[in-house]
Amino acid sequence: MRIVFPLFDQFTSLDAIGPFEVLSRLPGAEVVFASAEPGTYCSDAGAALVADHALGDLTSCDVLVVPGGPGTRKLLHDEPFLDWVRTVHDSTQWTTSVCSGSLVLGAAGLLKGLRATSHWGCAGYFDAFGATFTAQRVVTEGKIVTAAGVSAGIDMALALAARIAGEEEAQRIQLLIEYDPQPPFDSGSPAKAPAAVLARFS
């Protein structure tokens, strides 16, 4: 089972590494980090990950995971990249995204008529894609699964792991990565964050 994470400049590292840490532990998983040109790609916050495959060498995969980050904005007008997404999507069992990675799926035309989620700050993009932004942690529409912002990729990947390999396997991975979240604050969504915190984003 080949799982591909495309990387690009200014991706958000947890968008990729969250689901990576779950999906890479599925039986038979082969994870590939790929990019337009193989090399090192720096995240928006300064983590450098290596993509050792070229997108052009990958025309199919079983699971596609498109991470988000500020760098997605440039991808929305990157026709070769969008073409690659469309081509690979034809072959996937699951086409997924985390955070603003769903904007890339939208720009590739894959979300027309569908509901999708993304980072809460990206809600305004979806009308232009013919899609409906839905403020849920994970949205599944056929084989397309979109996750909300950054950390939501972990929840998405566990749900996907269960679909791929069964609930017990997903639960085994959850225990392995000790995913028993206990955030010290309850400020993880616009609906829950204190007004003063939300105001910092306006």
DSSP state of 32: E
Cα separation, 1 vs 61, in Å, equals 8
Residue 161 has φ and ψ, to the nearest 5°, of -55, -40
Q: Measured from the CB atom, is 13 or 95 closer to a copy of itself?
A: 13
Write the single-letter amino acid at 71: G
Respond yes or no: is residue 42 known to be catalytic: no
Query: For the chain, where are the alpha helices, taking DSSP H only?
Result: 13-23, 72-75, 79-89, 101-107, 152-165, 167-176, 195-199
Number of residues located near a copy of itself, criterion CB under 8 A: 63
Among 9, 21, 78, 141, binds a copy of itself (CB under 8 A): 21
128-167: which residues touch a copy of itself (CB under 8 A)? Answer: 137-138, 148-152, 154-155, 158-159, 162, 167
> Please, are residues 105 and 154 in contact by the beta-carbon 8 Å criterion?
no
Least distance in angstroms from the C-beta of 5 to a copy of itself:
9
Cα separation, 199 vs 164, in Å, equals 40
Q: Measured from the CB atom, is 90 or 178 closer to a copy of itself?
A: 178
Interface residues toward a copy of itself, by CB under 8 A = 12-14, 17-18, 20-21, 24-25, 31, 33, 40, 45-50, 52, 99, 119-120, 137-138, 148-152, 154-155, 158-159, 162, 167-168, 170-172, 174-185, 187-190, 192-194, 196-198, 200-201
